[in-house]
Chains A and B, each alone.
Chain A
Amino acid sequence: MIVAERKPLQQIEAMIEGFEKILIVGCGTCVAVSMAGGEKEVEELAAQLRIKAKLQGKPRTVDEITVTRQCDKEYLEPLAKYLDEYDAVISTACGAGVQFLAERYEGRIVLPALNTLFIGVTEGPGVWSQRCIACADCMLDQTGGICPMTICAKNLSNGPCGGTNAGKCEVDGEKDCAWTLIYRRMEKLGRLEYLKKIQPPRDYSLTTKPGRHTHEAFRQSQQEEE
């Protein structure tokens, strides 16, 4: 899932400077799970913005709505009947959601309330960690299901650097060295031989931005359309 965090209130306040009627649009998928932009967080942000305005004696109304996802058109459509009422829309989706919302409602001011962090997993209550950098060429089969492109700070694909410290990474002593993890996992799996293969340089052309992908099944029909 996409993991994000709420921006400091001060930043959001600065974005909405001068706007009176605000709508906060939440996103009920990834960022709801990462406790940054779901229904509940929208409610919290709205309460904060209301209190802040009152304390400063500013006129402001804050409405809230949370849709299932902001990265699918279907869920953005129903917003159409509301948006005209507002001076500005704050989206608590990831960067993709914010952009999609802004694209669908081009005439509206759409502002981001979150900083999008990474694709990750839930380690425990309130703790998430990165697991994938979307490199477009998965090599997890070779490394025991541990991604050196993500977990190793230097994305080394052929083994550790010289900085491994008691199994921790030289870059951040709190984090495990990816290559210690990979080696131990492959040892356990009895697949150490696989690690001997020299990995060729990565193909970064695969991640040329912006990415776009069409499912095989849809390719033909799309071509016909064009």
Chain B
Amino acid sequence: MVAGFKQAFAQKKFVVTAEVGPPKGTEISELLSHIDLLKDRVDGLNVTDNQSSVMRISSLAVCRLILDHGGEPILQLTCRDRNRLALQSELLSAWVLGVKNVLCLTGDYITVGDHPQAKPVFDLDSVQLLQTVGLLNEGKDLAANEMQGGTGFFAGAVVTPEADPLEPQMLKFEKKIVAGARFIQTQAIYDVDNFKRFMEQARRYDVKIMAGIVLLVTPGMARYMNKNVPGIFVPEALIEEMAAAEKGQKIEAGIRIAGRMIRQLREEKICDGVHIMAIGKEDRVPDILKAAE
């Protein structure tokens, strides 16, 4: 295991994290095998919080499992399912369990998930959540009460560089940094030129930027994301590259593409690191890293 996620930035190295999604249900053997496989190959394991509004094991529990297995967890925390009491208590709990990094998100809306009738919370938004983390770090809570012992989180947030329109997105990006985000993880990027343009703006701020890398599995997935996932744009050339790959070899093409992008981002020093999301294919992350060498 590396020294830690925050320390990895301090060492000015190109930081790599990978995403793990907690399972639905209590069968965790596959999850544990992914943790064991990845923990020494990346600088942090980023654990989603009821991702896509689908109910699962909590991010915090999986973070603790990662610690037990000798990895470095990053807790994702969304504003969708918890009010400010629950968010703060989750943060305190995470800290005492040894989690040192937190990624603050608004969260997907309830209706996209598997309990669409649930009551959406959204008591705080991601900016306010970042401020809350800042307060806890100072030993105070959101109501300005002094606490016995505070936290020392390394907090981050997300941004969508391909958002349309981009200006309001950048407005919030700036607020997130003012509110205490020290690292920013982006939505999946595929067009490096577009990303460079985004980085020109982002470089004006004192914050570490980690490009989001989502593994393409099939050309159909790329087209689907272009059509249905806001803020993701896969250039036609990449889709063709995927389509040209032989049947059964599509994922290899996806790994090649991801590896190539990571290498370019690292070698051209475009950003400070990457965050790999190999949704459902966590076992292929080592191959992506290899392709990126």
| A contacts B directly (C-beta below 8 A) | yes
- Cβ-defined contact, A179 with B122, below 8 A: no
- Cβ-defined contact, A154 with B120, below 8 A: yes
Complex Cα distance, B179 from A204, in Å, reads: 22
Q: Is B50 an interface residue (CB 8 A)?
A: no
Q: A155-B122, A198-B131, A198-B179 are in contact. Are A164 and B172 (CB under 8 A)?
A: no
Q: Mark B123-152, 1 if CB is under 8 A from A, else 0.
A: 111111001000000000010000000000
- Cβ-defined contact, A160 with B169, below 8 A: yes
Query: Nearest B residue to A161 by beta-carbon distance?
Result: B106
- Cβ-defined contact, A201 with B142, below 8 A: yes
Q: Mark B156-173, 1 if CB is under 8 A from A, else 0.
A: 001110011101110110
In A168-226, the 8 Å CB interface with B consists of 170-171, 179-180, 182-183, 187, 195-196, 198-202, 204
Q: Is A109 an interface residue (CB 8 A)?
A: no
Of the candidates B109, B120, B123, B128, the one whose C-beta lies within 8 Å of that of A158 is: B128
- A contact residues around B174 at 8 Å (CB): 196
- A contact residues around B107 at 8 Å (CB): 154
Of the candidates B79, B109, B128, B172, the one whose C-beta lies within 8 Å of that of A171 is: B109
Q: Is A145 an interface residue (CB 8 A)?
A: no
- B contact residues around A165 at 8 Å (CB): 164, 230-231
Query: Nearest B residue to A187 by beta-carbon distance?
Result: B167
Complex Cα distance, B79 from A196, in Å, reads: 21
Complex Cα distance, B112 from A167, in Å, reads: 19
- Cβ-defined contact, A156 with B187, below 8 A: no
Query: Nearest Cβ in chain B — how far from A134, in angstroms?
Result: 17
Query: Nearest Cβ in chain A — how far from B72, in angstroms?
Result: 25
Q: Is B2 an interface residue (CB 8 A)?
A: no
Complex Cα distance, B123 from A196, in Å, reads: 20
Complex Cα distance, B168 from A183, in Å, reads: 6
Query: Nearest Cβ in chain B — how far from A169, in angstroms?
Result: 9
Query: Nearest B residue to A158 by beta-carbon distance?
Result: B127
Q: Is B221 an interface residue (CB 8 A)?
A: no
Query: Nearest Cβ in chain B — how far from A167, in angstroms?
Result: 6
- Cβ-defined contact, A198 with B127, below 8 A: yes
- A contact residues around B79 at 8 Å (CB): 154
Q: Is A159 an interface residue (CB 8 A)?
A: yes
- B contact residues around A202 at 8 Å (CB): 123
Query: Nearest Cβ in chain B — how far from A51, in angstroms?
Result: 35
Q: A154-B109, A204-B123 are in contact. Are A162 and B168 (CB under 8 A)?
A: no
Interface size of A by Cβ–Cβ distance < 8 Å? 30
Query: Nearest Cβ in chain A — how far from B228, in angstroms?
Result: 9
Complex Cα distance, B231 from A170, in Å, reads: 10
- Cβ-defined contact, A154 with B168, below 8 A: no
- A contact residues around B172 at 8 Å (CB): 158-160
Q: Is A34 an interface residue (CB 8 A)?
A: no
- B contact residues around A162 at 8 Å (CB): 106, 158-160, 163, 169, 187, 230-231
Q: Is A163 an interface residue (CB 8 A)?
A: yes
- Cβ-defined contact, B106 with A154, below 8 A: yes
Query: Nearest Cβ in chain A — how far from B191, in angstroms?
Result: 17
Query: Nearest B residue to A182 by beta-carbon distance?
Result: B168
Complex Cα distance, B120 from A202, in Å, reads: 15
Q: Is A29 an interface residue (CB 8 A)?
A: no
- Cβ-defined contact, A164 with B164, below 8 A: yes
Q: Is A92 an interface residue (CB 8 A)?
A: no
- Cβ-defined contact, B167 with A183, below 8 A: yes
Q: Is B178 an interface residue (CB 8 A)?
A: yes
- Cβ-defined contact, A160 with B125, below 8 A: no
Complex Cα distance, B123 from A183, in Å, reads: 22
Q: Is B39 an interface residue (CB 8 A)?
A: no
- A contact residues around B187 at 8 Å (CB): 162
Complex Cα distance, B164 from A166, in Å, reads: 5
Query: Nearest Cβ in chain A — how far from B41, in angstroms?
Result: 27
Complex Cα distance, B15 from A170, in Å, reads: 31
- A contact residues around B165 at 8 Å (CB): 164, 167, 180, 183
- Cβ-defined contact, B175 with A158, below 8 A: yes
List residues of chain A with CB under 8 Å of any chain B CB: 153-167, 170-171, 179-180, 182-183, 187, 195-196, 198-202, 204
Can you report 9 A-B residue pairs in the complex whose CB atoms are below 8 A from each other?
Answer: A154-B80, A160-B172, A162-B187, A163-B231, A165-B231, A170-B230, A180-B165, A183-B171, A200-B128
List residues of chain B with CB under 8 Å of any chain A CB: 79-80, 84, 106-109, 111-112, 120, 122-128, 131, 142, 158-160, 163-165, 167-169, 171-172, 174-175, 178-179, 187, 230-231
Given A154-B120, A164-B231, A198-B131, 14 extra CB contacts under 8 A: A153-B120, A154-B80, A155-B122, A156-B106, A158-B175, A159-B127, A160-B172, A162-B106, A163-B108, A165-B231, A166-B230, A170-B230, A171-B112, A196-B175
7 tightest A-B contacts by CB? A159-B172, A165-B230, A162-B160, A183-B168, A158-B127, A171-B109, A161-B106
